[in-house]
Structure 1
Amino acid sequence: MKQFRFLVYGKDERQRCLKEILENRGHVAKNAEESSAGFFDAILLPLPETETFFGKIKEELVPGQIVFGANFGQSVACQAKEKKITVVDYMKADGVAEKNAVSVAEGILAEAICAMKENLCGSRCLVCGFGRCGSRIAERLAACQADVDVFEKEDQKRQAVEAAGATWRPHADPGAYELIVNTVPQPLFTGQMLSRCKKEVCILDLASGNGGVNLEICKAYGICAKRCPGLPARYAPKAAAKILADVIEKEMDVRKKGE
């Protein structure tokens, strides 16, 4: 395998592990503080702050480079095209989103156990959304013997929800739960919904963008609520980094063979 040169941005544990894994595989990997971006074959941006970092370093990038990150917006794609660089979204690689969802689900259990005033076992939990992350979260909560409801409007997901050990709910009363996990990137939990929640409820928001929970209103009501980005980097950094390293090496080899 050809040796490549990587510049690693970000200081979270996942990025530190990623640098170490690539070095152990025979590549050159440097922290961003050590060098300029122009000397490297590829730039490795952190999740979930890819776009923020891209905006800071775009003037340093040179034609032919590859920039790895996640959830690149259309504006980044346009800028990359203008500079003749390639952007690679980790989450669009085969199997990555599924593997990442496992780490997210385990991280949510850790967050819930630390924040809740009740045991997970026997508690009533609501998971909003039954996509990649929501489905794994519901499965794991049910495995902890929690009473799990899934708020999901798509009726065709009902069978999968029940197979996960949860109950499908096209509507849900937020006041019935000790734990609420939101994965839906829409403003679901605003004033009216939050006013119906128990004071001792714990709300964990995984939704992308601006999230789906109004944290200011939660604070005013005395509700324990938290945004939870980047859980794999906090709870399973080595496993998360290995997933990214595999994507990076595969992508670099494919592009090298195409030259």
Structure 2
Amino acid sequence: MDLRIDTVVDDNRDKKLVFLVVGGDCRQNFLAKKLAGAGHEVYAVGLSKEQDIGRAMRLSRLDSILKVPDVVVLPLIASENGVDVTAPFYDKAISLSLVAEICTSDTLVVGGHITKAIDAIFKEKNIPTADYFIREELILKNCIPTAEGALMVAMENTGRTVFKSRALVIGFGRVAKSVSKLFMSVGARVTVAARKSADLALAQTLGYDAFDISKLSTKISDYDIILNTVPASVLNEGILKNVDSSALIIDLASKPGGVDFGYASGLGLKVIWALSLPPKRTVCEIYVIGATSGGFAAECPEGAFSCPPAAGKPCRPTVLSEQCILEYINVLVKVDFQHRLTAYNIPSVAIVCRYTQTFNIIFHAS
């Protein structure tokens, strides 16, 4: 896992390589297009069909590639579950084991957040891996679109302007610094909550208000927008009960996150786990008919949508056509691709429907 990508690039600077780009979001599309434009032979599977990939060749299946790739590029995050490649725009699971099967020990597999479990899958075949997200320059540059994504989420999910809103940023690492700067630049009144005295001092010198995170429970009720960047249980029951009911909580932390989502939901708080920004998490909008007390059911022209509802659980359709139009809509369920869309067996990415009442339900990975 310590192999640097620079070594491969430098050793093959004048050689045209065979790349396989697997899964991910629009960033992978851009990469495939750029690599192909540079003259490399590029194959792609599991990418968005709506985004151009230039001269790269799309594969319908991973095992249909006819050449052994020199480099396999996995997304950021490489895998959500340690078993399958993160591929929100693909209707089938792409197992990491299958990726390993088409590689040899001469193939380099790169991706973001390559865990020990992921590395072990490739190590069985002596396939080297490299985590490109350990590079400091990439981490720092990635903070900028992450902050922009957080601002977009805030703008789309609050009933007021971010300008003059009271924004609390929890933590003061790389992401928090970018978020604080951007929110202040659009006129938010930014406060930073952190543990280290040095971070608090730096925040104050940059023009933010600041307080020790130990005072969170007594101060959190003052804020309209709360942005957590700490991947630990920061917003627990003791803290959440003091949050203003109209506040928006945006969790930017990586797994396991910093919010007790179950307790927050019970309080009726609006919480968005903006995992893997940028970009804004891809959302599939599923429109269903039914009442909350009786579970969910739906009817469509093709009769493709049905499920036995479980108490307190959202609908789990088995089949859903992409252009399914429902006649009467009462509930809108938003299913997050990044949180196991495939677990709900929903292949669709765009459903066009009328609706009269909406509820946002965010599924969280177990």
* TM-score, structure 1 as length reference: 0.83
Q: Does the alignment pair 1:24 with 2:53?
A: no
Q: Does the alignment pair 1:184 with 2:230?
A: yes
Deviates more, 1:126-135 or 1:86-95: 86-95
Look up the SS of the partner of 1:53 in the other structure. Answer: coil
Show the counterpart of 2:183.
Answer: 141
Show the counterpart of 2:25.
Answer: 12
CA distance in 1 between counterparts of 2:70 and 2:180 reads 40
Letter aligned with residue 22 of structure 2? Y
1:87: how far off? 1.2
Among the aligned pairs, what percent are the same residue? 26
Look up the SS of the partner of 2:163 in the other structure. Answer: coil
Structure 2: gaps of 5 or more residues: 1-13, 47-58, 86-93, 282-366
Q: Does the alignment pair 1:77 with 2:119?
A: yes
Equivalent positions of 1:206-221 (< 5 A) are 206-221=252-267
Q: Which runs of 4+ in 1 moved over 4 A?
A: none
CA distance in 2 between counterparts of 1:118 and 1:234 reads 20
Letter aligned with residue 77 of structure 2? P
Show the counterpart of 1:45.
Answer: 74
Show the counterpart of 2:156.
Answer: 114
CA distance in 1 between counterparts of 2:264 and 2:157 reads 15
Is residue 96–residue 118 contact of structure 2 (8 Å, CA) maintained in 1? Answer: no
Is residue 23–residue 29 contact of structure 1 (8 Å, CA) maintained in 2? Answer: yes
Return closer, same or farther for 1:163/1:23 CA change in 2, 3 Å cut-off: farther
Look up the SS of the partner of 1:208 in the other structure. Answer: coil
CA distance in 1 between counterparts of 2:268 and 2:174 reads 31
Is residue 139–residue 165 contact of structure 1 (8 Å, CA) maintained in 2? Answer: no
The RMSD of aligned alpha carbons is 2.0
1:46: how far off? 1.4
Is residue 15–residue 46 contact of structure 1 (8 Å, CA) maintained in 2? Answer: yes
CA distance in 1 between counterparts of 2:280 and 2:165 reads 25
CA distance in 2 between counterparts of 1:162 and 1:52 reads 44
Show the counterpart of 1:3.
Answer: 16
CA distance in 2 between counterparts of 1:222 and 1:233 reads 26
Is residue 153–residue 280 contact of structure 2 (8 Å, CA) maintained in 1? Answer: no
Is residue 96–residue 121 contact of structure 2 (8 Å, CA) maintained in 1? Answer: no
1:225: how far off? 0.6
Look up the SS of the partner of 1:6 in the other structure. Answer: strand
Look up the SS of the partner of 1:149 in the other structure. Answer: strand
Show the counterpart of 1:104.
Answer: 146
Is residue 69–residue 88 contact of structure 1 (8 Å, CA) maintained in 2? Answer: yes
Q: Deviations over 1:140-189 (max 9, x none)?
A: 11112211111110111123212332122103322111001111011111
Return closer, same or farther for 1:2/1:26 CA change in 2, 3 Å cut-off: same
1:62: how far off? 2.3
CA distance in 2 between counterparts of 1:233 and 1:42 reads 24
Letter aligned with residue 268 of structure 2? G
Q: Deviations over 1:195-248 (max 9, x none)?
A: 11111111111111121112222222121111112222349xxxxxxxxxxxxx
Is residue 125–residue 179 contact of structure 1 (8 Å, CA) maintained in 2? Answer: yes
Is residue 124–residue 176 contact of structure 1 (8 Å, CA) maintained in 2? Answer: yes
CA distance in 1 between counterparts of 2:269 and 2:165 reads 17
CA distance in 1 between counterparts of 2:68 and 2:31 reads 19
Q: Which structure: greater helix fraction? A: 1
Deviates more, 1:191-200 or 1:59-68: 59-68
Equivalent positions of 1:61-76 (< 5 A) are 61-76=103-118
Higher alpha-carbon Rg:
2
Show the counterpart of 1:249.
Answer: none
Show the counterpart of 1:233.
Answer: 279
Q: Deviations over 1:130-149 (max 9, x none)?
A: 11101110111111221111
Deviates more, 1:180-189 or 1:52-61: 52-61
1:123: how far off? 1.1
Is residue 22–residue 45 contact of structure 2 (8 Å, CA) maintained in 1? Answer: yes
Give the paired residue count.
235
Return closer, same or farther for 1:196/1:89 CA change in 2, 3 Å cut-off: same
Letter aligned with residue 182 of structure 1? N
1:52: how far off? 4.2
Q: Deviations over 1:2-32 (max 9, x none)?
A: 2111111115211111111111111122112
